[in-house]
Structure 1
Amino acid sequence: MAEENMGALQARKQAICRKAQRLHCRFYERCAHWSFNRSSDVEPIRWHREHWMLAGTALLITLLSGFIMPSWANAMRPAPAPVAHTLLPLALPKADLVQAPVSTVDDWQVVRVQPGQTLSDIFNAHGLGMSDLQKVMDAAGDHKDALHSIRPGEEFDFLLGSDGSLKGFRFDPDAANRAVVRFDGAQPTLAVQPRDIDRREQVAHGVIRSSLYAAGDQAGVNAAMIGKLADLFKYDIDFVQDLRVGDSFTMIYDDIYRDGVRYGQGDIVAAEFVNQGKRYTAYRFKKADGNYGWFSEDGRPIQKSFLRIPVDFTRISSKFSSARMHPILGRMRAHKGVDYAAPKGTPIHAAGDGVIKYHGWERGYGNFVVIQHNKTISTAYGHMSSFVKGQHVGERVRQGEVIGYVGMTGLATGPHLHYEFRVNGVQRNPQTVTLPKPEPLPAAQLARFESQVVKPQLARLTELDNRIKLARANAPANHDN
């Protein structure tokens, strides 16, 4: 009986399988090759699209389980108990009811002087009047002289109130100081503040090819410094008549920097000029009285007792001669001076220190001045267009001081200066007369000058000359095509 039941059950299972196979015949056809049997007679497993889909699904379920389970575990944890805090009263310092004043920066308005402007023009442009300018003058005290003559490029600073009134004024009494005038107190105040001045030395070398200023420009030296160089050697060199091609100069000079910004050119420290093969030197030296001067290598002042030429001229229109044809009189006549042609109004300078001996009109000479320099030497100046106001006979004048202006008064065909150099009343040729040498420095100062100035500066000038000569010797020669 048992065997019959087992046979019926087995037959039923087979019937169910056959029915399933009929219903899912396509599936069984595709999956018939699946097997876990690793015997050699069975084909190895081949991965098809269905294999990859099943494997990807299983991997995705595994990953999601890794993320979801920890989050669920954290969610099941009990909330942490809050931490209790205790508040303790602290004693704080009392607040200061009076606040410190907030510092403010003054709003200074900087004005740069333009050509032709006056100080009153600048004040008017800021809505200020002559009364404000007078207040500044009064408050400036000993420094007000710097406000009487202003130059283009100079700077002035204004501090104005909200109502436009003048609260402060700043100006430079000299290159090294700044004067500050304030009017925001009960009384005007003046404070002088030193400026940060720095002198930076420069060196230059030039060779004359056409003119002195062209040589300076090629050497990188501005016209103002070249003017100072010419002013140093003007006692020995006539820069209009004596210059020759090939003349040269070497100089050490300084530029002035104020508060880190270039302020202008300084002074020549040392210089040499070679004119027609003759060498002239100049060295700056602080004398015993605290003033600076320029001296040659032997310690004699560069500034001679007399200027060789007392006027800036364009050409010599007539030289010293014992006989020449007078352009107006039309007959032979001695010309006991030198005529320097120059534009009308050119300043005429005293050739040396002395006393005015004659000041007025002289027949033939027109407006005429004679200066007595010592017992034996005098100089004379003719054909002036006008004199300097206030000068008169008996007044002492200093070398370089203006005594009149070029004109053509008297017997003259054009504006020029007729200049005479007289020794014991006899006219001598101003271009060739031997001028007296100035006295050298006293012995003690001369020793200091030679050791502290000449020796080191001469070494620098010599080194610079040698470097220039070496550079020229090594430079490739220029060949014309």
Structure 2
Amino acid sequence: MGEGKQIARAARKQAIRRKAQRRHSHFYERFSHWSFCSHTEHEPIRWHRERWMLAGTALLITALSGFIIPAWASAMRPDPTPAAHAMLPLALPKTLPEVVHAPTVEDWHIVQVRPGQTLSDIFQSQGLSLTDLQRVMDEAGSAKSALHNIRPGQEFDFLLGSDGGLKGIRFDKDESNRAIVRFDDGNKATVTAQVREVERREHVSHGTIDSSLFAAGSKAGMSSAMVLKLAELFKYDIDFVQDLRAGDSFTVIYDDVYRDGSYLREGEIVAAEFVNQGKRYTAYRFKKDDGNYGWFSEDGRPIQKSFLRIPVDFTRISSQFSAARMHPVLGRMRAHKGVDYAAPTGTPIHAAGDGVVKYKGWMNGYGNFVVIQHNSSISTAYGHMSRFANVKLGQRVSQGAVIGFVGMTGLATGPHLHYEFRVNNLQRDPQTVTLPKPEPLPAVQLAKFKSTVVQPQLARLKALDANVKLARVSGATRNDD
């Protein structure tokens, strides 16, 4: 049964083949010799035209491939890289490595003295004991005196060990030298000094009084401290409470002190001129033969007079010297044989001149009262003090020393100083009494003073005044235009 199906299938295939051959008889007749099927006997190979064409085409393609493919491969090949050279290490003689020591940065603790602090307070604030303080005092040598007189703003530098122990301390021995005390090797101390560069930078200021000395000084670029120094210079000749007038002027040459390039403090007045109510006063700083500095007028006389015109700083006169006035407490006419300077309670009162304390105590009407005898004929008296300074009866005091403080003890309606100037025990008006002139510099020093100080500084002051006047004229001209 299966064999019959196979015969039938073969017969169908044969029929389909014959049908296709009949339909495409023209193609088979033309290309029958191309067939690779051998259903008939092999005939000798005969090269017809079509076979030559196929062989030639194949040969041409093969030849072209032999030229084109290698050329294309060469073009696509990347550029050749240079041959790598191997670096072989060579054994060198061994040398000892150089040891580099980094600089050690020491951690100094800087402490600035506050008002009211003592040196022991500062040491304890660093965790140090009074024994450490005593060690420093014992080892400081010539710098020891600087430790006895500390002031607010002064700096102390501490170097502490890992255990908190004192390894070193630095402080100013004086303005230009720093003392360094080290305890590096156990308890053995080394003391060294470090020089610090100090320089003075000069300034020139000019001012005109409109309302007050402080306002004019501030407008001229001066600090309050320098204005006070200016007033201190001329306070012997000018009563800055009573005598100032609008239009008064001053010219000042002064310096500031710098240390290690940083501002340190106010310097001193080198030269100054003050015109008060048309009268000209001058002051020049000069180093005397004894090494001390002083201020002198153009004729070589010391600026510091035998007596102060006013023994309290920048107050106002509340009552003038008078032969008769209405007493504010008693309510009747009574002579007022002194000058009253109103000032806040506690304002320091200064000795008007060198002398001896003749009286110190309570006086009816005057309250707390002090009398200073200056010479055989002249004495000064100070009343209504709130309290006395640390002076004793019979003690010699210098001009400017604080002898007490302003108050309102005795017959007084407000805090003020009652000041008297007595000649042979008779009261004289302190504002008008003629005071003796001090002696000028000796002849040799006077010549040096005039040639090295007065002439160059006076030329500078005059040049500055001329520039100021020229500026005023130019300003007035511009305003008119």
Equivalent position SS for 2:413: coil
The separation in 2 between residues aligned to 1:347 and 1:64, in whole angstroms, is 110
Q: Is the 8 A contact 1:281 1:297 kept in 2?
A: yes
Task: Using the TM superposition, name which of 323-332 and 280-289 deviates more.
Answer: 323-332
Aligned-pair distance for 1:324? 1.5
Q: What's the CA shift for 1:181? A: 2.2
Give 1:377's aligned residue.
378
What is the distance in 2 between the residues matched to 1:469 and 1:217? 20
Bigger CA drift: 264-273 or 171-180? 171-180
Q: Distance in 2 between matches of 1:63 and 1:309?
A: 116
Q: Secondary structure of the residue that 2:140 maps to in structure 1? A: helix
Output aligned runs, 1:387-426, within 5 Å: 387-389=388-390, 391-426=391-426
The match for 1:205 is 206
Q: Counterpart of 1:124 in structure 2: which amino acid?
A: Q
The 1:64/1:396 distance shift into structure 2, 3 A limit, reads farther
User: What's the CA shift string for 1:8-42, capped at 9, x where partnerless?
Assistant: xxxxxxx99xx99xx9xxxxxxxxxxxxxxxxxxx
Aligned length: 415
Give 2:447's aligned residue.
447
Q: Secondary structure at the match of 2:308?
A: coil
CA distance in 2, matches of 1:67, 1:247: 102
Q: Report the counterpart of residue 50 of structure 1 in structure 2.
A: none
Deviation at 1:464, TM superposition (A): 1.1
Asked if 1:190 corresponds to 2:191, the answer is yes
- The 5 Å alignment of 1:148-163 reads 148-163=148-163
Cα 1:65/1:477, change in 2 over 3 Å:
same
* Contact 1:324–1:333, Cα closer than 8 Å, also in 2: yes
* Residue aligned with 1:188, SS: strand
Gap runs ≥5 in structure 1: 1-14, 24-57
Q: Within 5 Å, give how 1:59-78 maps onto structure 2.
A: 71=80
Distance 1:397 1:219 in 2: 37
Q: Give the distance between the partners of 1:273 and 1:468, measured in 2 at CA.
A: 15
Partners of 2:142 and 2:362 in 1: how far apart? Answer: 40
Cα deviations across residues 309-337 of structure 1 (Å, max 9, x unaligned)? Answer: 11125321211111122222222221111
Cα distance change, pair 62–462 in 1 and its aligned pair in 2 (3 A): farther
How far residue 377 of structure 1 moved from its aligned partner, in angstroms, is 1.2
> What amino acid does structure 1 have at the position aligned with 2:124?
N
Q: Secondary structure at the match of 1:256?
A: strand
Residue 145 of structure 2 corresponds to residue 139 of structure 1: no
Could you say if the C-alpha distance between residues 64 and 114 of structure 1 is closer, same or farther in structure 2, counting changes exceeding 3 Å? farther
Q: How does 1:69-148 map to 2 (within 5 A)?
A: 71=80, 104-148=104-148
Give the partner amino acid of 1:345: G
Matched residue type, 2:416: H
Given residue 113 of structure 1, which amino acid in structure 2 is its aligned partner?
V
Matching residue of 1:248: 249
For residue 11 of structure 2, what is the aligned residue in structure 1?
none
Q: Name the counterpart of 1:432.
A: 432
- Pick closer, same or farther for the CA change 1:331–1:108 going to 2, 3 Å: same
Instruction: Give the structure 2 partner of residue 468 of structure 1.
Output: 468
1:286-305 map, 5 Å: 286-305=287-306
Residues 344-378 of structure 1, C-alpha deviations (whole Å, 9 max, x = no match): 22111111111112222222222221111112211
* 1:269 partnered with 2:270: yes
SS at structure 1 position matched to 2:206: strand
Q: CA deviation at 1:64?
A: 6.6
Partner residue in 2 for 1:36: none
Judging changes above 3 Å, is the alpha-carbon distance between structure 1 residues 129 and 469 closer, same or farther for their aligned structure 2 residues?
A: same
The 1-side partners of 2:342 and 2:273 are apart by 29
Q: CA deviation at 1:212?
A: 1.0
Query: 1:143 and 1:379 mapped to 2: Cα distance?
Result: 41
Could you say what secondary structure the match of 1:183 adopts?
strand
Letter in 1 for 2:407: G
8 Å contact from structure 1 (residues 349, 402) kept in 2: yes
Q: Tell me the CA shift for residue 235 of structure 1.
A: 0.7
Who is 2:339 aligned against? 338
Distance apart, 1:237 and its partner CA: 0.9
Is 1:326 matched up with 2:352?
Answer: no
SS of corresponding position for 2:254:
strand
Whole-angstrom CA distance in 2 between matches of 1:262 and 1:171: 18
Distance in 2 between residues matched to 1:420 and 1:190, nearest whole Å: 54
Q: Distance in 1 between matches of 2:373 and 2:364?
A: 20
Aligned residue in 1 for 2:63:
none
- Post-superposition offset of 1:409: 2.0
Give the letter aligned to residue 358 of structure 1: Y
Does the 8 Å contact 1:313/1:341 carry over to 2? Answer: no
Per the alignment, residue 281 of structure 2 pairs with 280
- TM-score, length basis structure 2: 0.78
Change (3 A) 1:140 1:362: farther
User: Structure 1: how far apart are the matches of 2:460 and 2:228?
Assistant: 22
> What amino acid is the match of 1:316?
I
Larger-Rg structure: 2
CA distance in 2, matches of 1:311, 1:436: 21
Contact 1:109 1:158 in 2 (8 A): yes
Paired with 1:137 and 1:278, the residues of 2 have a C-alpha distance of 54
Shift of 1:398: 0.6
* 1:120-149: CA deviation from partner (whole Å, max 9, x where unpaired): 443333222333333333433454444445
Corresponding residue SS for 1:447: helix
Secondary structure of the corresponding residue to residue 152 of structure 1 = coil
Cα 1:67–1:235, aligned 2, differ >3 Å: closer, same or farther? farther
- Structure 1 residues 65 and 396 mapped into 2: Cα distance closer, same or farther (>3 Å)? same
Taking a change above 3 Å as real, the CA distance of residues 205 and 63 of structure 1, as seen in their structure-2 partners, is farther
Say whether the 8 Å CA contact 1:313–1:340 is kept in structure 2. Answer: no
CA distance in 2, matches of 1:249, 1:86: 85
Q: For residue 51 of structure 1, what is the aligned residue in structure 2?
A: none
Cα distance change of structure 1 residues 440 and 167 upon mapping to structure 2, 3 Å threshold: same
| Partner Cα separation in structure 2 for residue 245 and residue 334 of structure 1 | 32
What SS is found at the alignment partner of 1:289?
coil
